[in-house]
Amino acid sequence: MNKLLLFKFFCTFLVLFLFTGCATTQVTPLPFDSELKEAYLIDNPNVKISDFQLILERHFNQHGIGIKRIAEFSEIPEHAYSIRYTADTTWCFIRYLSNATVSIYKENLLIAGGRFHDVDNWLLAMFDFDPLLYNSPDLKLKQLYTNLLKEYPLKYNVPTFMRSKTIIEPKDVNHINVNH
Query: Model confidence over 106-129: pLDDT tens digits?
Result: 988 999 999 988 765 555 555 555
Strands 38-42 and 66-70 turn out to be: parallel
Q: Examine the pLDDT at 93 and tell me if it is beyond 80.
A: no
pTM of the entire predicted model: 0.70
Cβ within 8 Å of residue 60, ≥6 positions away: 39, 66, 67, 145, 149
Percent of all residues in the chain with a pLDDT value above 90, rounded to a whole number: 38
H or E stretch covering 52: helix 52-62
Cβ within 8 Å of residue 150, ≥6 positions away: 29
What is the pLDDT confidence band of residue 1, given thresholds at 50, 70 and 90? low
DSSP state of 32: P
Lowest average pLDDT, out of 27-41, 119-133, 166-180, goes to 166-180
- The pLDDT score that the predictor gives to residue 172 is 37
Give, rounded to a whole angstrom, the gap between the first and last alpha carbons of the chain.
Answer: 94
Q: Examine the pLDDT at 47 and tell me if it is beyond 70.
A: yes
Query: CA 16, CA 10: separation in Å to the nearest integer?
Result: 10
